[in-house]
Every structure is written in C-alpha cells, then in structure tokens.
C-alpha cells in the first residue's frame, strides 16, 4: 500500500517559491546578457575586424587602444562570479567558522568532530585560478570587484606576488576605469605590509611555492620600482580621473600615513558609495572571524596630531623615493599641462602650475594631500613649499616679518588676491582653501584672515560656496578677531542677513556660536545677532525661537503661515539650535524659555522627529546646561513619558531623560509610570524604556531601588570623569605632590566599596571644613578626620540598607499572611 502524501509546510513552500523565483531571475539576467552580446556582435562592421594598412586591428583610425586590457574568458569570469557569491554568503551567514558538530560513528556512538573551515580552501582555490589572468580580471567590471575582495584576505606574500605580476603595466593599470580601483586597494594594504617588513617581519614563501618564490622582491622594493615606472608621467597622471586616486594613495603610503577604504582623502564619494552597495565583504577581511574594516576604527575621527601618531614605519628607500616624487611634481611649474594634457607656456610667477592644479577638480585632492603632509613635517610649512606656492608667497612674507617692497611684491599681491578670490568661490577648489585655513600656523592664518575676510564677510557669507570657507575661518579666530567680526556683521542690514536664512546658508552663524562657546567670549553678542537676524525682537516673539530656527523661517515668514501648516524641521536649523544650547549660562536661556513655551503636541512632534530630537539630546547631555533648566524640563514631562516612549525615536528621548535625571527625578518618573506598566510592556518601543526603569523593583522595595539608581548614577559619573581624565594629557607631578598622591592612594585602599550619595555629602562637608581651617598640620588632621567620617558614614549606610531590606521582607511576609487570612 503506498504511503499517504504528506503536505508541505508553509515555510518549505515559501522557500521553494523563493528559490524558483531567484532561478528565474538569474536565467532572465543571463538571457539579457546573451542578447546584449548578440546585438553588439551584429552592430560591428565586418571590416573592423580586418587588418588595417598598418597591420593593426580595430576601428580607432586603424589603431587599437594602447591602454586597453585583455578581456577574461567566459569560464574564468563565471568561476569568479561564483566565488564572489560564496564569499558574500559566508560573510552574511557566518558559514565556515570553526565549530564542532555531533556525528554518529560506525559503532553508533555520538562523537564531536571539528568542522573544517571552508574559507581558506576557497581562497586557495581562487588564487590558483587567478594565476595568469591578473590583468584580465583587474580590467573587467565584475571580476575587479571580486579581486578586491580577495585582496583583503590575502597574506603579505600573496600581495607581493600579485604586485609583481603587474610590473611593467602600472601606467596602463592606474589609468584604467576598473583596474585603478584594484591597485588603489592593493596600495592601501601594502602600507601595513611595508610596516611589518621594516620591523623585520618579512612573510616567507609557502612550502609549495617552489624555488622561484625565493627571489620574489619585498613589498618595499616593488613599491619603489613601480614609483620609478610612474615618475616620467606623474604630472599628467594627477589630472587623470582614475590615476589621481592611485597617486594619492602612493603619497600617503610613502609618507607612512595610515589610510583606509573609508578615508575621504583616498576615495571619492562615488567610489565609497559603490563599495557600500557591493555587499558586506568588500572592504573587510572575510577570512577572519573578527570581520572589521581595515584601519577604520583606528583612524576614524582622528585629527592632525593623531595622524602623525598613526604613521607606519617606513624604510630609508621610501624617503629617497618620496624626494624623487616631490621633484617630479615640481615639474608642474616648469612645463605645465592642463586637464586635457595640452602643454601650457611656462609661468612667469613661481608656482603657477601648482596653483592651476589646486584649482582642478581631479588634481586638487593631490595638492591637498601634499599640503597636509607638509604640515605634518617637524618644521611645518616652509617658504617655497606647496602651501607657499598656492598662497603666492604668503608663507615667505610672514617668515620674513614684513612684505618685500617692489614691483614683484605688487605683482604677487595682485595675483594672490585674484587667485585666492577664485579659489574660495569655486566648488572644486574651495576644500583646498578650507584645508589651508585649518592647517595654517597662527601667523599665516592671521595674514589670510586680514587680507581676504576682514571687511568682506558680508559678501562671502551670502555666496553659495564661499560661506563654507568663511565658517572654517571663523572657527579659528581669536577673541579680538571675533569681536571685530561681530561689529562688522552688526553693520549689515537685517534684511540682507535674513537672506542667509532664506537660502539655508547658516554656516557663518553656526561658526559664530562655536567660536563664542570655545572662547567663552562674545556669547551675548552672538545670541543677539542671531535673534536680530530672525527678527525676534520682543520677549513674546522670542518664545518662537525654537519653531522659527528649527524650520529656518524668519518671524515675518512664520507669521504668514496658515494656522494648520506644519513646516518640516531642517537639519541646518537643528544643528544651529544644538550649537546654541552649548553656550554658557545664561546665554542659552532664550532657547530654554522657548522650549518651555511649546505645547505638549509641539514638543511631542519634536521628540518623534529624527532631525529635531537631537535638540533635546544636547539639552539633556550638554555640560553647560544649568541643573535648574534640566530639572524643569524633565518635570514638565511627568505624566507624559508613556506617550513619548511609545515611538521609535521618542523612546530614545525618554531613555535619555531617565539617564540624565538624578535619583529624586528618577523616583518621580517611576511614580508617574507605576500604573502604566501594562501599557509600556505592550508597546513595541516603550518596553525597552520600562526595562531601564525597573518598575517591579520600585513597587516592591522602593529604598533598594533608590540605592541601586544612586550607585548606577555614581558609576556613570566615575566613568565620565575617567574618560575626561584619560583624554587630557598627563602632567608630571612634583615630588611632594607625588608623595601626597601616593599616601592618598594608600588611604583609599582601606575601603574599595563604591561611593554613594551619603559618601558625597560627608566628603563635601569634610572638604569645606578642611578648607576653612588652613595650614599643613590642620590639613593632615582634616584628612584623617575625613577618612574616619567616611568609614562611619559607610557603616551607617550599609546598616540602613540591610535594615530596610529586612524590614521590607518582614512586611511582605505579614502582608501575605494577612491576605491569606
């Protein structure tokens, strides 16, 4: 009798449908590719494939493209496409990591067997298939991405082999659309290899490599030889849209600066966006269990000082090669070329070729790296260097102390004004001016600020490009320059300043707030300037600071809105208010008053917006927020936290409020939510907030809950204090101070229990007592008395906590007995 047919589960049916749909999509894509190839084949003229009179093949006027790379054969291309799919699958699913599984042996016993990692096998097979096809795979649109994935998993020896296979073809490869990205990734990873080789850790050849592998050059020799190959055409390569990125990486590698695929100096935005959409394995070492971006965690958010600390060790050959590279780039001033490669007449003023390159969209980033590397040198910018030539001799004039008189000085001054005026207004070159302002020494910055910004801010701040450069300059001014700048801005008509708001150009106002906060000067003047720009003159009008600034609507435009209109918050307005809140008290009080004047519906809309909720984050976490303003804001939300937390973004705001509150406010928040536990638990977002509140513990043992929250608050304060101390540079202590600190550390070892609120009260009281007494002997006695007081307070606190727990436990037992009776 046949077995009855079993029905498939819903999951298996969905899986079959998904697999069938994916198979149909692959077949359709393959069919489209075949039809495309057929159309291309039919569209070719028959005589294009015939030899020309000169004996060459192709239709480019009888000549073939000398920079073209061979195409991979279909079988090899299909194999590497499967390799890419397997890598992506292993990366996403975690397949192939070392693990154990239980199997049944021949005797029927269950034993554990270690599963072999499939990833090294896949890499070994791919490298074997790569041999002999390096150029073809690097030049193909699809396989070049696969080759980049393999690079992140290769060891140092495999990278050297691949770079050696490219020898003699580097000029063609760096100018190729797809192969240039492969070389760029290879150069990025080569810096780490050179660092290891310089420290004496040279990767040996594997046993199966043969005798020829013993003669393989090191990565240092390979990079030096490829630079020698590129030097004759370096002045044209920096103008090439693909080769320029490779030259940037080589400059950083030969200088020993760590780079990564996420560094904006090394890759364009378009390239970074493309890599982001290629899957999780591109840019990562998929062979390692700890998959992470190469060097991204170490270099992200680092400044100029940390960039010097992150430098690789470089051999002496690199310093010589770097000098040769600089000498080759100096030829830009000799026989300059434009972006099309056409030779231009020799410049009459030194540095004309460098200045032309700095204006160019492709060559400009190369010049920015040269200027940044020059700033990292021990002497900084030097007269006649890259920055001096871009600034038309301004560094030399500042170094000499006074401008040189004469016709040449006048010509330099005229050229400087004309050139830099165009540099800061051009979208492609304005980042160069921003970098000059950021890295310039104080004396050079003062000269630039005086020559190009004083008296001209009213025009530059309204420019679509120059306003970003002005904002960078304002971020570096001192107190005297800031005061003079505010006088100049106050002289601009209100309507003209209002056009900055209407055109979403708020960079100057944001930079003014940042500089005022940094210098702790002119904060009141900056606040009044912004209020006047938005037209908020009276006290009643200033209650609309947050709505007007957040939506970038001046008062005249805000009053014209319909009653039912809901303007969307803007990112520029949100950042402006966040910076405003970082001012010192009481200069940000106008923002606090405006938030307090909002209705709950308006405030709820702010908490549920990803853009405007950042305002509340800064209000709750900024160290300049007065405790009274913080407490008033949290108290105003009591009774509404369950509504605020019932949202994806609002729940984060509610958690931030709870984290910023003291124990008293936390107790009030828990008390207002004690009867809302069921609502919080049912919400998809609020139950995370309820978990932090620990309402069941608050309902059973309120004193224990308070003690626990006090300890958590103190631990958070200690952590923040430790992070702040670690961020500050350590100062050597005097001998007497070191002895005192050593004695203090010994006294602190007596009690390792973490301090609570009672300890803080006694510590503050004893500190004030010791400060009022004065004298060394009295100070030592006060220290001993303080230690004894702390011990007594700690014992009392422990006894009180134990008594509260025992009493609460007995009360629970009695309540249970009464309920049963």
pLDDT tens for each residue of 432-474: 999 999 999 999 999 999 999 999 998 899 889 999 999 999 9
Kindly state whether residue 406 falls inside one of the protein's structural domains: yes
Number of domains in the chain: 3
Helices 650-660 and 663-673: angle between axes, nearest 10 degrees: 140
Kindly state whether residue 486 falls inside one of the protein's structural domains: no
Element containing residue 104 per DSSP (H, E): strand 99-104
Pair 276, 383 in one domain = no
Residue matched to tokens 């298939």: 129
Report the 10 Å Cβ neighbour count for 447: 18
Condensed to tens digits (0 to 9), the pLDDT of residues 77-126 reads 787 777 777 777 666 665 545 555 555 556 666 555 555 556 666 667 67
Q: 583 by DSSP, 3-state: which?
A: coil
Q: Of the residues 452, 471, 506, which one is the last residue of a structural domain?
A: 452
Domain hosting residue 434, numbered range? 338-452
Residue 712 pLDDT exceeds 70: yes
Q: Return the pLDDT at 788.
A: 60
Which two tokens mark 309?
Answer: 């600390």
Alpha-carbon dihedral 386, 392, 398, 403, rounded to 10 degrees: 150
Pair 243, 344 in one domain = no
Q: How many Å apart are CA 538 and CA 559, to the nearest integer? A: 14
Q: Return the pLDDT at 474.
A: 95
Closest CA to 588 of 563, 559, 562, 618: 618
Pair 418, 323 in one domain = no
Pair 315, 282 in one domain = yes
Alpha-carbon dihedral 377, 383, 388, 391, rounded to 10 degrees: 140
Kindly state whether residue 198 falls inside one of the protein's structural domains: yes
Mean pLDDT of 169-183: 89
Q: Which residue has the higher pLDDT, 674 or 410?
A: 674
Pair 386, 280 in one domain = no
Q: Of the residues 411, 432, 452, which one is the last residue of a structural domain?
A: 452
Q: 188 by DSSP, 3-state: which?
A: helix
Mean pLDDT of 201-216: 71
In the chain, what are the helix, strand and coil shares in percent, each to the nearest 5?
Answer: 65, 0, 30
Mean pLDDT of 58-86: 68
Report the 10 Å Cβ neighbour count for 184: 24
Kindly state whether residue 329 falls inside one of the protein's structural domains: yes
Residue 692 pLDDT exceeds 60: yes
Please give the model's pTM, rounded to 2 decimal places. Answer: 0.72
Residues 6+ apart with CB under 8 A from 21: none
Condensed to tens digits (0 to 9), the pLDDT of residues 11-20 reads 677 778 888 8
Which two tokens mark 299?
Answer: 């270099």
Pair 383, 438 in one domain = yes
Mean pLDDT score across all residues of the chain? 77
Lowest mean pLDDT across 687-691, 698-702, 789-793: 789-793
- With contact defined as beta carbons under 8 Å apart, do 419 and 356 qualify? no
% of the chain beyond a pLDDT of 90:
36
Cβ burial, residue 304 (10 Å; 0-12/13-18/19+): exposed
Locate all alpha helices (DSSP H) within 534-570, ordered by sequence: 545-551, 555-558
Residue 755 pLDDT exceeds 70: no
Which two tokens mark 552?
Answer: 């970038």
Residue 619 pLDDT exceeds 90: yes
Report the 10 Å Cβ neighbour count for 268: 14
Which two tokens mark 796?
Answer: 């009392």
- With contact defined as beta carbons under 8 Å apart, do 662 and 709 qualify? no
Pair 348, 326 in one domain = no
Q: Of the residues 333, 356, 381, which one is the last residue of a structural domain?
A: 333
Pair 278, 393 in one domain = no
Cα 276–279–282 angle (5° rounding)?
75
Kindly state whether residue 601 falls inside one of the protein's structural domains: no
Closest CA to 515 of 440, 579, 427: 579
Q: 111 by DSSP, 3-state: which?
A: strand
**Banded pLDDT at 76 (limits 50, 70, 90):** confident
Which two tokens mark 693?
Answer: 């509140």
Pair 329, 370 in one domain = no
Q: Return the pLDDT at 111.
A: 57
Closest CA to 542 of 596, 479, 582: 596
Q: How many Å apart are CA 549 and CA 780, to the nearest integer? A: 55
Q: How many Å apart are CA 263 and CA 201, to the nearest integer? A: 27
Q: Return the pLDDT at 207.
A: 64
Kindly state whether residue 775 falls inside one of the protein's structural domains: yes
% of the chain beyond a pLDDT of 70:
69
- With contact defined as beta carbons under 8 Å apart, do 549 and 575 qualify? no
Q: Return the pLDDT at 535.
A: 93
Q: How many Å apart are CA 104 and CA 96, to the nearest integer? A: 21
Q: Return the pLDDT at 211.
A: 62
Count CA atoms closer than 13 A to 356's CA, side-chain side.
Answer: 27
Pair 283, 146 in one domain = yes
Cβ burial, residue 255 (10 Å; 0-12/13-18/19+): buried
Pair 425, 352 in one domain = yes
Which two tokens mark 672?
Answer: 């207002």
Q: How many Å apart are CA 804 and CA 499, to the nearest integer? A: 64
Kindly state whether residue 343 falls inside one of the protein's structural domains: yes
Measured CA to CA in angstroms, residue 489 lies from 105, 482, 486, 528 at distances of 85, 10, 5, 12
Pair 326, 348 in one domain = no
Q: Please, what is the end-to-end C-alpha distance for the chain in angstroms?
A: 67
Kindly state whether residue 360 falls inside one of the protein's structural domains: yes
């Amino acid at each position: 009798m046949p077995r009855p047919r079993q029905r498939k589960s819903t999951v298996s049916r969905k899986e079959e449908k998904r697999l069938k749909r994916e198979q149909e999509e692959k077949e359709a894509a393959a069919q489209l590719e075949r039809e495309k190839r057929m159309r291309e084949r039919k569209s070719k003229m028959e005589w294009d494939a015939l030899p020309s009179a000169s004996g060459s093949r192709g239709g480019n006027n009888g000549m073939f493209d000398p920079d073209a790379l061979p195409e991979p054969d279909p079988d090899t291309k299909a194999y590497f496409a499967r390799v890419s799919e397997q890598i992506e699958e292993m990366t996403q699913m975690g397949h192939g990591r070392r693990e154990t599984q239980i199997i049944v042996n021949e005797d029927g016993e269950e034993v554990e067997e270690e599963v072999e990692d499939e990833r090294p096998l896949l890499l070994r097979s791919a490298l074997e298939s790569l041999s002999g096809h390096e150029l073809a795979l690097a030049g193909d649109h699809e396989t070049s991405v696969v080759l980049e994935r393999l690079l992140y998993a290769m060891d140092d020896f495999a990278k050297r082999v691949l770079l050696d296979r490219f020898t003699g073809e580097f000029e063609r490869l760096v100018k190729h659309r797809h192969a240039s990205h492969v070389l760029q990734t290879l150069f990025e990873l080569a810096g780490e290899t050179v660092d290891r080789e310089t420290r004496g850790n040279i990767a040996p050849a594997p046993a199966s490599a043969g005798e020829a592998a013993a003669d393989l050059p090191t990565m240092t020799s390979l990079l030096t030889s490829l630079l020698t190959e590129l030097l004759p055409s370096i002045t044209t390569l920096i103008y090439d849209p693909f080769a320029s990125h490779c030259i940037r990486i080589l400059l950083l590698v030969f200088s020993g600066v760590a780079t990564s695929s996420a560094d904006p100096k090394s890759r364009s935005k378009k390239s970074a966006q493309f890599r982001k959409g290629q899957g999780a394995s591109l840019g990562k070492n998929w062979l390692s269990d700890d998959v992470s971006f190469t060097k991204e965690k170490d270099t992200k958010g680092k400044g100029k000082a940390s960039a010097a600390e992150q430098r690789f060790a470089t051999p002496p050959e690199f310093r010589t090669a770097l000098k040769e590279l600089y000498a080759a780039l100096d030829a830009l001033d000799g026989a300059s070329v434009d972006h099309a490669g056409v030779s231009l007449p020799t410049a009459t003023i030194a540095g004309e070729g460098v200045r032309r390159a700095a204006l160019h969209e492709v060559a400009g980033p190369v010049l920015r790296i040269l200027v940044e590397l020059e700033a990292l040198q021990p002497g900084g910018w030097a007269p006649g260097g890259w920055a001096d030539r871009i600034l038309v001799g301004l560094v030399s004039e500042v170094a000499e102390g006074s401008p040189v008189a004469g016709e040449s000085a006048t010509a330099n001054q005229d050229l400087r004004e004309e050139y830099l005026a165009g540099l800061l207004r051009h979208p492609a070159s304005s980042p160069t001016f921003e970098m000059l302002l950021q890295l310039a020494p104080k004396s050079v910055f003062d000269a630039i600020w005086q020559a190009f910004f004083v008296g001209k801010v009213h025009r530059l701040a309204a420019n679509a490009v120059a306003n970003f450069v002005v904002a960078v300059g304002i971020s570096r001014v001192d107190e005297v320059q800031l005061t003079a700048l505010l006088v100049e801005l106050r002289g601009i008509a209100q309507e003209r300043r209002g056009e900055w708001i209407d055109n979403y150009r708020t960079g100057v106002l944001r930079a003014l707030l940042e500089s005022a906060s940094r210098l702790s000067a002119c904060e009141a003047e900056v606040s009044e300037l912004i209020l006047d720009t938005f037209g908020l003159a009276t006290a009643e009008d200033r209650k609309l600071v947050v709505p007007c600034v957040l939506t970038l609507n001046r008062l005249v435009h805000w009053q014209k809105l319909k009653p039912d209109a809901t303007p969307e918050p803007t990112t520029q307005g949100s950042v402006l208010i966040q910076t405003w809140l970082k001012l010192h008290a009481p200069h940000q009080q106008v923002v606090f008053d405006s938030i307090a004047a909002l209705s709950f519906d308006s405030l709820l809309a702010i908490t549920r917006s990803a853009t405007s909720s950042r305002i509340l984050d800064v209000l709750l976490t900024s160290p300049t927020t007065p405790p009274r303003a913080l407490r008033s804001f949290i108290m105003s939300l009591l009774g509404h936290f369950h509504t605020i937390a019932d949202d994806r973004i609002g729940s984060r705001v509610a958690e931030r409020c709870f984290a910023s509150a003291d124990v008293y406010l936390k107790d009030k928040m828990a008390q207002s939510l004690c009867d809302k536990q069921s609502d919080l638990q049912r919400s998809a977002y609020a139950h995370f907030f309820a978990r932090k509140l620990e309402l069941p513990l608050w309902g059973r043992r309120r004193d224990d809950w308070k003690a626990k929250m006090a300890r958590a608050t103190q631990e958070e304060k200690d952590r923040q204090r430790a992070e702040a101390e670690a961020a500050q540079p350590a100062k050597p202590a005097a001998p007497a101070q070191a002895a005192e600190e050593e004695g203090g550390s010994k006294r602190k070892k007596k009690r390792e229990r973490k301090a609570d609120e009672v300890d803080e009260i006694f510590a503050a009281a004893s500190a004030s007592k010791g400060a009022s007494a004065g004298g060394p002997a009295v100070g030592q006695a006060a220290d001993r008395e303080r230690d004894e007081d702390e011990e007594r307070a700690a014992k009392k606190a422990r006894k009180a906590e134990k008594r509260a727990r025992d009493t609460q436990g007995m009360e629970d037992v009695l309540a249970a007995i009464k309920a049963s009776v």
